[in-house]
Every structure is written in structure tokens, then in C-alpha cells.
Structure 1
Amino acid sequence: MRSLDRRTFLTGSAAAAAGLLLFAGFESPAHADEVLTGYPGSIPLRRARFENWDGAIVADQLWTAVPRNATDVVALVNWAHSAGYTIRPQGHRHTWSPLTVAPGTAGNKKVLLVDTTSKLTAMSMADAETVRVQAGASMEKLLRFIESNGRSLTAAPAPGDVTVGGVLAVGGHGTAIPSLDELGKPGTIWGSMSNLVSSLTAVVWDAKSGSYVERTFDRTDTDCAAFLTHLGRAFITEVTLKTVPAYMLRCQNFTNIPISELFAKPDKVTNRSLSKLIDASGRVGVIWYAFTDKPWVQVWTRSANKPFTSRRTLGPFNYLFADNLPTPVPQLLGNLVEGHAEVAPAFNAAVALATSTGLDVTFARDMWGPASHFLHFVKPTTLRVTAGSHVIVTRRSEVQAVVHEFTSHYTAMLDDYRRRGMFPINSGVEIRVTGVDSAMEYGPNADAPALSAATAVPGHPEWDTAIWLDTLTLPDTPHQSEFYRELERTYFVEFPAERGVVRAEWAKRWGHTNDGAWLDTDTLRTRIPASYPKWDSAVETLARWDPHRIFTTELLDQLMP
């Protein structure tokens, strides 16, 4: 993992003034016939630098193909099979875990990145309720397209610069469960994005022809469940997704609820405690800056008519202050980057104040508009932090207890590290709550996404809720790996089995040792597989459709040998 210096953080244009990170993939044209024997020369090829969201995964000058259509993808996969290469779909690289490539992958390694974002972006309405979209389309453009057709999604990841294929590969999600007023109403899917897929098209091995071909899997196909969240162990070219009628949301932002009330013990809840906010609105997100006592709480409520006090929105990304944080935030951020970890409490206090002030001066405390204006609120210029995240699938009635226990444990750990002069966490915690993934909307022969972190647990229909707990810090912060390792083992591993199931959030950091993430072999080989009821069958299905392991990485080879 590379170190980030102050110049990397603080140079640039407006983002530099806010102390934000901007990364770009440096590219150079390539002549395939000079190096790649037999490469289908009509398909554009270049050398490109790969860098992920937090800058921790960097691979310089990898061969990167730019297919013009799905036929090109099939040609690339078959060339890779004959040439001994692996194929890695590449979207906007808004990820943390090395599911695309490993850090430091050499340019001479037999890996071909396939950029899906240039041409594989078509979308159309398959019918009145379903959208057909290629894997390289961005979520932002997808939401705008379906909104223009009178449709929307119940929830979606906060960034707009993520591809549909990338989101589905890791079981991406937003934050939403039914409010008490919405309980029992049919037609809405409350889990991850993967559970919206009604059919998908993948490039798979065909034994009869002795080649890779495109094949479409309907949701009722026995093998479809393994592809719905495939972690990059497959190449999906197109999907059809279920949508819902377009709707309006009221977005309220609070920075005055103390953690003692928001994360209160279940027997001490008030109307401003997390579980009560969820009961009232169903859609709640929490951003809690470390060492502060009043989180930023976002509450989205369905509202057909604009409330009198709400400001109407004109588009998505309504938190302008998040990209223009005022003094002293950039200076404190610079101190953190230079190694002054002890300024973390002051940094977070400054960010919390800037958030509260920003909400006021931009009139963003109370807004109203189409759902798509609020589903996306993280821009590429937002401060880039690393993220360790786990998911607890449990009863809805356990939400308040689980969050109280987690936040209490996390606070005690922060205090313990601070007493020892260490500040491994200098950003904060994000909390989101969704439903679980099931196939109820698809009929008796369908199945839930087998490898989605939100997939339902057979035999436990009462475990109907997924709580996503995301701990954030700047990349390469001293002692972060020790903190993440301890948090995993003292809270998530010890979570009582009778209360629910704990899983890793695929796109983030997990499986920590003191040396870093994704290194704990016990987690990779035992704990993760044990948390999925259909792990073995899903791994076998993906291997059967890709017996030559064209779609794999070092991490996937450990996780799915």
C-alpha cells in the first residue's frame, strides 16, 4: 500500500482548497500487435494506470481494452482464454477491495482490464416496469433515464459515479426499509441492488462450442442466484432491473441529536432515536464524525406534496459544502496527512461544524424533490477515505440494540487508543439500514442473490433487516489495521449467533490482520463461507461457467479456490 503525501491531497483546483483527493487513470495508446499475439486488433487497446477510490490499490500501465459492444467482450474473453490471460471488468473504480486487481499488479502480468464505461452503457425500458441496461452505465445516468420514464428505485448507493455492473458485482445498496405506514405493501424490494435483477446476460463457457459465449439467465434459472452478486468471478454484460413508480421525498438533515439519544439503549428511546426515525420514515442515514457527540442524521420521507418549510431541489448532489469545506478543515487535514494523528479530534470537530454551517447557509436542512435527487449525494470530489464495513442481518426490532452496542464498543475502543496516544480513526462511522434480499417478488422457482451480504437466512424469516456499519479513516493512517482487526474480532466475530448473521461488505475492507485487510485466512476460508447458506453451491456454479478461471484475481483465488 502506498503512502499519501500532503501534495497528493492538497494540489488541484477547487478540491485542493477543500483538502480533497482527485485521482485519474493516466493512459497511453498501445499497439496490440507489438505485444499481445493474436489480440483482436479492431478492439481499441491502451495502457492505463489503475487506481481505486481511496488510492490504496494502484497498478501502473496495465493493458486495458475498450469494447464497443458485447460481441467485442466475447472476443476479448476468448482471446484471453487462448493467450493465458485473465479478464477484469473495470468501471469507475469506486471501490476499496482488490476484487478487480491486486495492489502493485505489474504491467507485464497477464491481466487485461476491460473498460465498460465507454461503450457498454446503453439502456432502454424493457417494459413499463423494467429497465434493460448495460453493465458500464453509471448509476447517475440510469436514475435520470428511468425518472424520465416515470420510474425510480427504492434505494441506491450514494455515489453516482459507480457502474451498474460494479454495483451488482458487490451487492451495492442504499438505505431503506419500510416505514410503519409502508409495512405489508407489495411491489417494493427493500434489499440490495442485486435483488432488483429479473434477468442478466453473462459471458460463460460453452462446452459444445469449446468457447465463451453470451448467455441470458432468467431470475427463475437455478444458476442465476450465483451471478446476482458475483464479486468479479463473472462478466455480466447486461441486466434487466425492476423499478418502482417515480415518487417524491422530503429530506431533513439534523445535527442536533446527541449520540446518547440517537444511539440510546432500547429502553431509553425517544422519537429522535434511530429506531423511531426509521419507523416514521424508513429511510435514514447516519454520518458520525469521530470524537463528536452529535452526528449528521439524514431522514428521507415519502411526501407527495412539498411541505411548506422545504426547499425544492433542482437535481442531485445537494450538499455543496461537502466539496468546499472551509478553514480550518484543509489545514487540519494537511496536518493529518503529514503524520500528526493527534489532530483527529479537532479535525472532526471542524468537519462537524462545517457540516452544520453548510446545511444552514445552503438551505439544505429541509429539502423536497424527486427521489433521484436524494439517492445520490456523494460526488467524485468528496474527501476520499478508506472504509471497513460489516453487515448484521437481524430482526428489525434489534436495530436500536445492535447500533447501541456497536457505537458503545466503538467509542470505548477510540478512547482506549487515544489513552495510548493513537488515533487510527480520523473520519467516522456511517450507518445505513436496509431490508434483506429474498426472491418473494419473483415467484416460487426464483432464489435470492446467493452471495449478497444482505441475502436472507433460511430458517430465520424473522431476520428481515440488514444493518450496515461502516468505519472510515484516511488511507495509511497509523494503527488503522490494528483497530480494524480488533473491531472485527471483538464485536463482529463475537456477535451472538442467535441474534443474527454477520457478513463482510464486499466493496470495503475486511479480513484484517495487523498488516492490513483481506489477509486473515481464517476469515477468508472459514468465517465468510460459513455466513452464507449457499456459499459452496454458488462458488461451484461460478466455477462451472468459468472452468478456465478467466474471471479471477489473487483475492478471489483465496476466497473461492
Structure 2
Amino acid sequence: MGVNVVQGVSRRGFLGASAAAGAFVFIGVETPASAAEGLADFPAAVPVHREVYRNWDGVVVTDALWTCVPRQSADVVAVVNWAHQHGYTVRAQGYRHTWSPLTVATGTAADSKVILLDTTKALTAMSLVGSRRVRVQAGASMENLLSYLSSKNFSLVATPAPGGITVAGALAINGHGTALPALGEKPLPGQNFGTVSNLVVELTAVVWDQASGRYQERTFSRSDTECKAFLTHLGRAFITEVVLQVVDDYNIRCRNRTDIASSELFAAPEAVTDRSLSKLIDAYGRVGIIWYAFTDRPWVQIWEPSPNRPLLSRPTLTPYNYLFADNLPTPVPQLLGQLVAGQDWVAPAFGNAILLATDTGLTALGARDMWGKSKNFLNWVKPTTLRVTAGSHAVVTSRANLQKVVHDFTSFYSAKLAEYQAQGKFPVNSALEIRITGVDDPTQIDVPGAEAPALSAARPVEGHPEWDIAVWLDLVTLPDTPHQNEFYSELEQYFRRLPAELGVARPEWAKRFAHTPAGAWTDTTAMQDEIPATLPEWDWTVSTLNKYDPHRLFSNPLIDQLLN
């Protein structure tokens, strides 16, 4: 089979040379450049160069674009005002750990009037302020934030698994982890079980000031109604600093199981056992699932707060304790190479080989049962992990409905996968990942008058206070896998047909969504009507963001379609 190309990215070119290692690393390509070459009057104090933008899964790739490195927030303001005067758009660039083209569009040409601001080099300061609060600049990584907090005896309840994402990036797309309280668990002061967006006490954004006719920084308290428009802004704003609510540090016992059959884990509500997902959530609160395609034993991750180390738990000192994920043994690399070459029929063998590697790796590394500081388990996905593309939805529902939501979806997914397989099609070759969090409940933030993030996928649903959790259902596969777009499209239709009494489904902004057979983000009806209809303050949020950026400096083609 020949090389497949989707959205200008060669499947073989993306994976080829690294397939044997099973680990794919991309870095920007930098070429020194003088601002005088093409950026007239550019702020002299801000270093600037040209750099290729490439996202996590390699689907979004651009020409070498103008990229600058602000050293302080005043530099951001200076560049933004320069961009306004010269007709440029401004895009914040973090670690590029995203699947959705919310920063720049793939194929953006070198002569496009867009400038990237790399916040990761200098806008990284953090400090404790007040009681259980941390002030942190936009470009700080979540890994460094957790490390800093731990050094001060503080932490967060949950964060996205990759540590290599910026705080502002997690905020823009309401990044989340896995976090619910176990039944009977006593909450810690300041404990928040929603997304990163719901941790914000105050934020500082670069906004248009009508009186001065310039962009300038403005701080919004969480008690300010307009703040909720910025808490999940999809890249339609530029945040320079946030204050987050934190909790006292705590220890975690992490157990990893591969002995529960999918039929038992995802059983119908009337057939649950103590090892079914809802019962595990009741017992431990924090449970994540990785279910490799075409296998029958998911990898179950359990993170249980545990003040003291159990006798048989291995102590840990650092995050990223699944080293086997970066050094996959034979025959995984060979099967991966076959997938890359277009031999998609090996997907079932690939899934079972990865499950075997997981089984072996967990045991060999003593990772079946571990214990240590919370930071050592909140981040567990390294940049060298197998890079896959992802499409995800959150179902906001009640805890009582959890088992039914998961059973119904996994039954549909399994039947659909079998249907494709019977036709000789293998659109999924990685895994279904399941995370469960609380909703973004503003009463969990210690600010009187706080409101929920307006565009968060985990925003509470008006009229349904019993819908208190978000079930994140994330399907991952290698980029450019044949028939993936059709498969994702059918899954999205499933979410749109979700029974009204069961909950509301919303896309996860950092992932792929709005599929047609032509690809992601091509379903204009979904983007302009169906998705906005799931969030009642959509129009208000668009209006508020437009008010603070009337010149649409902080936008791009996808954002223009969504937030028009």
C-alpha cells in the first residue's frame, strides 16, 4: 500500500524513522533571523526568529513562522500592540501538546501575517500568595508547577497526565485529570474535582482598552462575571498570569491492574460486581482506564490518597513511572512498522502485543503497586510516549448514571469496531481512554460570587444539579489511519443521540471533533449549531471575548468558525 497523506502530512513521514523505537519526538526548527528582515518596527527588546510549528501528533505543521520570546508580560503587550498596528494575528505557543488546530492552521505559510509568542522560555515564574493559592505565569509547565507546589507542601487534586503542557494551555481548553472523591472521603480544604479552569481565583489577560486605543493587561477576579469567559477561551484570548487554588500536599497509592475483563469492568448496571468501574470509583475515587483496541483486559489505574506507605507498595521519588511505555519490546515495534506501512490488518495483533508489554512492564518495574508524593503520579505521560491522534467527548451526568453511560458507550464502540473489522477495516489501533472528574462547580472555589467557566466541557448543566460528574471518553489511534474519520463521525453521532435523561455530551477542545468523512473540524453544522447548543452562555461568551479583542488579534481559522 502506498503512502497515505491527510491534511498535508505524510503518515510515513510522520512516523517512519522513529517507528522502530516506538517513541516520536518533534522539536521546532529554528533559524536565526533579524526582525529588520521582515518585521518593521518590531519591539527591539524581544528576541524573534523563524520556527516551524508542529503539534503533538504531527497533523498540524506549518512553514517557518515568525516566533518571538517575550521575557516579561510587558513584552507581550508590546508585541500585541505592534501586531495590531501592522495587521498581524497573535498566537500563544506553549509545548504544542494539542491535537486541535487552535493555535495555527496546518499549512500556514511563511508569509502569513501571524506571529507566535513562545511563553515557555521566560514567562514561567511562580510564587505562593495568601492561603492555599499560587500565582503562576502563563508559560510555566504543569510538571514544574507541581514540583514547585510539592516543595512548599502543596499540590492539586488532578491535572492532565502530560507534564509538558503550559498552565495557560491547560486553562484554554479546560485540561483535566482524573478526580472524584471516594464514597465517605473527607474533602481537603480547597479541594476541587473539576478541570484546571475551575481552579482559577483570578487571571490577567491582554485586552483592548477603548480609552487609550491600545491593548493592555487587565486582571479579572473570579467574582467578576466576565472572568468566566476567559476561563476556557479556546485560544480566543491571551492570558499572561493566573492565581490558582491549591490543596495541602498528600501521598498517593497507585495500583495498576490488568486482570479485570472488559465485560465485568463495563458491565450493565444490573450486573455490576465489586470490580466494575462504578464500584471501583466508589471505593477509590480516582480511577482511569486504558483499553487497547481488540483486547479484552483494560489497563486499570487506581490512584488512592494514602498518608502512609502500605507495606508492599514501592516508594517513588519522581513522576513518569511507566518506563516501558517509551521502550516497547519486540514485537511491538515490528507491528507498529507494519501499521505505518499501511498494513492496517495487524491492528488486533498490535493491541494484544501492547497489552502484553504493559503486563510485563508493570511487573518488571514493580509498578503494580507504588506510593509517593502526589506529583509523582499526577504526571505520567512523557513527551516520548507513542504519539497518537485523539478524539474525545465529555458526558456530564450523575454519579448514579456512571455505569450505564460507560456500558452503553463501550457496547456501541465494541459493536462498531467489530462491524468495521468484518469489512476488513481497522480505524482504531491504539486505545479507548476513560477518565472521570467532577463538574466545574464554582462553589468549590473559595471566591464569593464565582461562576462556572462558560465554555468548559465540564460546566454544570442548568436544571440538573444531580449531574455532578464528567465522563471523558477519549479514542486514540495513529494519525492518518484509514477510515478513522468515518469512525469518529459515527461516534460523534452517538453522542448527539445521547438520551436526554442520561446527560449532555460536549467535545474536548484539545482533541479532534466535528468529523465528517473528509476529516475533523469539517462538520460545519456541528460547529455552528450543535456544539454551541450544549453551552447556554455560548453567545454571551463570544460577545465578551469580542469586546476585549474587537480586532480579532487572538484568533485563527478554526476559532473564526467556532467563535464567530
How far did residue 21 of structure 1 move? 1.4
The answer for the alignment partner of 2:510 in structure 1 is: 507
Contact 1:4 1:475 in 2 (8 A): no
SS at 1:350's partner residue?
A: helix
What aligned pairs does 1:65-80 form with structure 2 within 5 A after superposition?
65-80=68-83
Q: Residues 363-382 of structure 1: matches in 2 within 5 Å?
A: 363-382=366-385
Work out the CA distance in 2 between the residues paired with 1:555 and 1:185: 40
CA distance in 2, matches of 1:426, 1:91: 28
Whether contact under 8 Å (2:290, 2:298) holds in the other structure is yes
Offset at 1:185? 6.4
Unaligned runs of 5+ in 1: none
Q: 1:449 to 1:8 in 2, by over 3 A?
A: closer
Q: Residue in 2 aligned with 1:88?
A: 91
TM-superposed deviation, 1:5: 4.6
Instruction: Say whether the 8 Å CA contact 2:405–2:502 is kept in structure 1.
Output: no
Aligned residue for 1:461?
465
Distance 1:371 1:281 in 2: 15
Output the CA distance in 2 between the equivalents of 1:149 and 1:60: 42
Deviations 1:363-421 (A, max 9, x none): 00000001110001000000000000000000011110000000000000100000101
Following superposition of structure 1 onto structure 2, how do residues 123-522 of structure 1 map, counting pairs within 5 Å? 123-182=126-185, 187-440=190-443, 441-489=445-493, 491-522=494-525
- Which amino acid letter does the alignment assign opposite residue 39 of structure 1? F
Contact 1:197 1:239 in 2 (8 A): yes
Cα deviation, residue 443, structure 1: 4.4
Measured in 2, the distance between the counterparts of 1:560 and 1:173 equals 22
Identity, % of aligned positions: 61
Q: Which letter does structure 2 place at the counterpart of 1:77?
A: V
Provide the aligned length of Structure 1 versus Structure 2. Answer: 557
Query: Corresponding residue for 1:103?
Result: 106
Q: Counterpart of 1:487 in structure 2: which amino acid?
A: L
**Counterpart of 2:22?**
19
Scaled by the length of structure 2, what TM-score is found? 0.97
Residue 181 of structure 1 and its aligned partner are, at CA, apart by: 2.0
How far the C-alpha of 1:127 sits from its partner, in A, is 2.2
Q: Work out the CA distance in 1 between the residues paired with 2:39 and 2:188.
A: 55
Letter in 2 for 1:476: D
1:2 to 1, 8, 20: 8
2:295 counterpart letter in structure 1: T
Distance 1:288 1:458 in 2: 33
Instruction: Output the amino acid matched with 2:463.
Output: G
Q: Which runs of 5+ in 2 are unaligned?
A: 1-6
Cα displacement string for residues 493-540 of structure 1 (whole angstroms, at most 9, x for unaligned residues): 100122211100000000001010011011101111111121111111
Q: TM-score, normalised by structure 1?
A: 0.98
Alignment partners' CA distance in 1, 2:107 and 2:14? 18
Q: CA deviation at 1:2?
A: 3.4
- Distance of 1:421 and 1:359 partners within structure 2: 33
- For the 8 Å contact 1:390–1:469, the answer to whether it is kept is yes
Give 1:49's aligned residue: 52
Q: Do the aligned residues in 1 keep the contact of 2:8 with 2:107 (CA within 8 Å)?
A: no
Tell whether the 8 Å contact from 2:11 to 2:480 is kept in structure 1 after alignment.
no
**Contact 1:433–1:466, Cα closer than 8 Å, also in 2:** yes
Q: Within 2, Cα distance between the matches of 1:112 and 1:87?
A: 5
Deviations 1:54-80 (A, max 9, x none): 000001100001111000000000001
State the 1:95 CA deviation. 0.1
Which of 31, 34, 41 aligns to 1:28? It is 31
How far 1:186 moved relative to its partner?
5.6
Structure 2: which amino acid aligns with 1:102?
A
Question: Aligned partners of 2:102, 2:458: CA distance in 1, in Å?
Answer: 19
User: Aligned partners of 1:403 and 1:129: how far apart in 2?
Assistant: 35
- Residue type matched to 1:244 in 2? V
1:128 to partner: Cα distance? 3.5
Residue aligned with 2:531, SS: helix
2:3 maps to none
Residue-by-residue CA offset, 1:135-194 (whole Å, 9 max, x unaligned): 000000000000000000000000010000100000000001111022676631100000
